[in-house]
Amino acid sequence: MASASSNKSKPLDWSKRARADLDRIYDYYLDAAPYDVAEKAVREVLQQGKRIAEQAMVYRAGPKGTRECVMRRFPFILIYPRCASCGCCIRRANTSTANA
């Protein structure tokens, strides 16, 4: 079991745009793949959001005061402010594989 860390998580506030993107991701995978793939895609995005809240600075620097977390199994990038205090926005990393 992992020991408790003194590094407290900052609350992650999903923007309206990010929530809408997440709905589109779910709808896309419902149409393109079995139900469990849609569920897994959403679950992995949400889990990655929790990781961002815990260790926001480990992900690469992005443009205009943002940081970017590239998803490994699904073609998306989670974009959030460098301060990591709020506003995670989901973007597609490769629009050719997910035209949602």
pLDDT tens-digit readout, 37-64: 999 999 999 999 999 888 888 899 888 8
pLDDT tens-digit readout, 61-77: 888 888 899 999 999 99
Tell me the pTM: 0.71
- pLDDT of the residue at 96: 42
Task: Measure the CA–CA gap between 6 and 75, rounded to whole angstroms.
Answer: 32
Say if residue 93's pLDDT is above 60.
no
pLDDT tens-digit readout, 11-28: 677 888 888 999 999 999
Edge-to-edge strands, sheet with 60-61? 60-61, 66-70, 76-81, 89-92
Helix (H) or strand (E) holding 80: strand 76-81
